[in-house]
A = this chain, B = another copy of it.
Amino acid sequence: MKRDSRLSIVLHGLLHMQAQGKPMTSAELALCMDTNPVVVRRTMAGLRENGLVSSEKGHGGGWTIARPLAGISLLDIHESLGEPDVVGFSNKDESPGCLIERAVNRELDAAMDEMRAVFTARMRAITLADIWDSVREPFNAHHNYRKDHPDDA
């Protein structure tokens, strides 16, 4: 366990929810995603706060996507996870007195900012609908049949 894989986990789960077409429990999602029900709840909690998904208790409860797929960008999801830093390195000291270290920080900060900008731009441009379509493309090409998918209703 090293790098943050929550974005990967959440996206995987959301698209399984879409494929299912009805509420999925944390336990079901955890099975799909090879993880733990508590991890699912913990990770989905931020998305619920931002209105991307909703959750219901009791019989027939579970998780549901609360908005059209085309209205949920990967950036929305990233922000719902608390915007963890997507850059894997950092300066040793963020506000040093040493002029040399400040000059080093300036260069590295510029690189980090550009990396973050590239990430943000991409995540803003991609919606869940885009990924969902890319999942269904090979299937449709093979079977030439699309009626049994929930979003075709």
Q: A interface vs B, CB < 8 Å?
A: 2-9, 11-12, 15-16, 19, 32-35, 74, 84-93, 98-101, 103-108, 110-111, 114-115, 118-119, 122-123, 126, 130-131, 134-135, 138-139
Contact = CB atoms under 8 A, between A and B. Distances in A.
B138 A99 contact: yes
Chain A contact surface mostly: helix
Contacts of A91: 5, 8
Given A104-B8, A118-B114, A135 B99 contact: yes
A74 B104 CA distance: 11
A7 B89 contact: yes
Question: Number of copies of this chain in the oligomer?
Answer: 2
Contact of A88 (B88, B99, B114): B88
A91 B107 CA distance: 28
A78 to B, nearest CB: 9
